[in-house]
A and B are shown apart, each in its own frame.
Chain A
Amino acid sequence: MKRIEAIKEILNNVDEKDIVVTSAGRISRETYYVKDRLRNFYVQGSMGATVGIGIGLAICNPERQVFVIVGDGDILINLDNLVVLKKLQKEGEIDNLQLYILDNKQYQSTGGQPTVSDVIDFRTLCWCKTIFVSDSEIDVPRIDIPHVELKRRFVNALRE
């Protein structure tokens, strides 16, 4: 499946009040392109931070589902996040975080260098869904809303 098709399928399950957090690179850009929403938070740098941000959002918004969409490179750089997520899931502290790992086995944004994800099944580390994806074969534009505005509208949308 192409990455952008996987993103479309995930977004189809997102209710209006739900939260979507996406990791740096193509995943944030393609999510913005497919369906920009006020309750989307696009991480654009900060490799490895997206799952943690999602955990914080899930803790503080128990009435909303939090969809976290990340790449294999983003997961691998801070793999410990999955262990903490497992702990919170197992102890019932979080039941509203849906983690989707879009695994293309490469660092696409930097030229397609291989990651080491081929030797690990992320699903053995925590409750998550792994989707093996290929390139979207479409060059979507960069996010053209300033960072501060993205944050402002996201924060406001969570107040509603």
Chain B
Amino acid sequence: MKLKFGLPCSKIKGKIKDVDFICTSEEQAFAIAAGCILSGKEPEVYMQNSGLARSIDILTSLYLPYEIPFPRLTLSLRRKPHHHWFIGEITEQLLNMIGYDNVEVVEQK
């Protein structure tokens, strides 16, 4: 397996053509990635920023307390249409608050 896990977003679909399988939640992608990292591997995860919001628990209750290094994250940052606006406005703050710097943010143009 290529150890790339996540959920798709139209804005990053070009970057995720070679994934092994599509997860059913972003939290699950981070959980599977954690199992890989504990095994000494370097998985990647990808998702839309709404999925980062869904993953706050596993990042703060698993990765941070156990000091599991964050996997490389490809994050689609959306602010439009309106239902994306509010999470779009706080996405970078969330990343900073968690200390998630192993990330490529792909912003919608």
B26 to chain A, nearest CB (A): 11
Q: SS class of chain B's interface: helix, strand, loop or mixed? A: helix
Q: Among B3, B20, B38, B65, which residue has the most Cβ atoms of chain A within 10 A?
A: B38
Contacts of B38 in A (CB 8 A): 41, 53, 56-57, 151, 154-155, 158
Q: Which of B1-30 contact A (CB under 8 A)?
A: 1, 3, 20-21, 23-25, 27-30
- Tally of A-B residue pairs with Cβ under 8 A? 105
Chain A 42-60 per-residue mask, 1 if CB under 8 angstroms from chain B, else 0: 0111111111111111111
CB of B31 within 8 Å of the partner chain: yes
The range of chain B's interface size is: 20 to 34
A155 to chain B, nearest CB (A): 6
Contact between A45 and B32 (Cβ–Cβ < 8 Å)?
no
The range of chain A's interface size is: 35 or more
* Cβ contacts A to B, 13 pairs, < 8 Å: A49-B30, A49-B62, A51-B31, A52-B32, A55-B31, A57-B39, A80-B28, A84-B24, A88-B21, A93-B1, A151-B66, A158-B38, A158-B39
Q: Which residues of B contact A (CB under 8 A)?
A: 1, 3, 20-21, 23-25, 27-41, 43, 57-58, 61-62, 65-68
Q: Which residues of A contact B (CB under 8 A)?
A: 21, 41, 43-61, 78, 80-81, 83-84, 87-88, 93, 147-148, 150-151, 154-155, 158-159
